Copies of this chain bind each other. A is one copy, B any other.
Amino acid sequence: MTSRTPTDSARDIPEATVARLPVYLRALTSLTEQGIATCSSEELATAAGVNSAKLRKDLSYLGSYGTRGVGYDVDYLRYQIAREIGVTQDWPVVIVGIGNLGHALANFSGFRSRGFRVVALLDADPARKGEEVAGIEVRPFDEIDTIVRENGVAIGVIATPAHAAQDVADRMVACGISSILNFAPTVLTVPPGVDVRKVDLSIELQILAYHEQRKAHGEPL
């Protein structure tokens, strides 16, 4: 089951580490832009907002890309992380639900610059058909099958109202999408093998509110 050739790099990177690799990637890009060619784990950790021991342990799962007594070559490490995450290639993405949020997402420049390419904007509302957002035409949701198959899309973004999200997810899965980023405030049910990540604004706010309440209560000043 876990038999692999010795050539491919270390496997089984912990989930917590995977979640931080993109942060390191961004910090390294920022260092490159500042003309910095080499950095220590301490410097990179500061730029990424984490503990340096944690950073070193995270990087050790990828391999030994640093030099003791010196540090890391910024460009080299950046490439290694990008390769490990899989963003050296471009990932085609579809966005479904071109309302308030969908418009913002379509205009988001961070897609292109980080290895993702929006290949289609889809909406069920016939009134939106043909509308152009960020240089991309909005197409009917029914065309999802064709678009996904033609472009080899593996990642879908859901920005529809909550009540439509499960249906959209089902259609996505049916035509071969196996990774979903969900902005709708609903729990999605998907078959095994499909990954779902959610971004939920009100959950984040409520977590902040909880701590805020405790601050106010704990210190009567």
Q: Which residues of A contact B (CB under 8 A)?
A: 18-19, 21-23, 25-27, 47-49, 84-87, 91, 93, 100-101, 103-105, 107-108, 110-111, 114-116, 154-155, 178-181, 185, 187, 189, 193, 195, 197, 199-213, 215-216
Contact B22 A202 (CB under 8 A): yes
Contact B104 A100 (CB under 8 A): yes
Q: Which of B101, B199, B202, B208 contacts A111 (CB 8 A)?
A: B202
Name 17 A/B residue pairs within 8 A (Cβ), A-sorted: A19-B207, A21-B206, A22-B202, A22-B207, A23-B187, A26-B185, A85-B210, A87-B209, A101-B108, A111-B202, A111-B205, A115-B209, A155-B209, A178-B212, A181-B208, A195-B208, A199-B199
Contacts of A87 in B (CB 8 A): 206, 209
A90 CB to nearest chain B CB (Å): 10
Q: How many angstroms between the C-alpha atoms of A115 and B195 in the bound complex? A: 30
Q: Which of B27, B108, B210 contacts A84 (CB 8 A)?
A: B210
Contact B86 A213 (CB under 8 A): yes
By Cβ-Cβ distance, the 10 closest A-B pairs, closest first, are A86-B213, A49-B187, A179-B208, A22-B206, A100-B104, A22-B203, A104-B104, A100-B107, A110-B202, A101-B104
Contacts of A25 in B (CB 8 A): 206
Number of copies of this chain that the complex holds? 2
A29 CB to nearest chain B CB (Å): 10
Contacts known (A21-B210, A22-B207); A114 close to B202, Cβ less than 8 A:
yes
Contacts of A47 in B (CB 8 A): 187
Contact A23 B203 (CB under 8 A): yes
Nearest B residue to A106 via CB reads B100
Nearest B residue to A12 via CB reads B214
Contact A204 B179 (CB under 8 A): no
Nearest B residue to A26 via CB reads B185
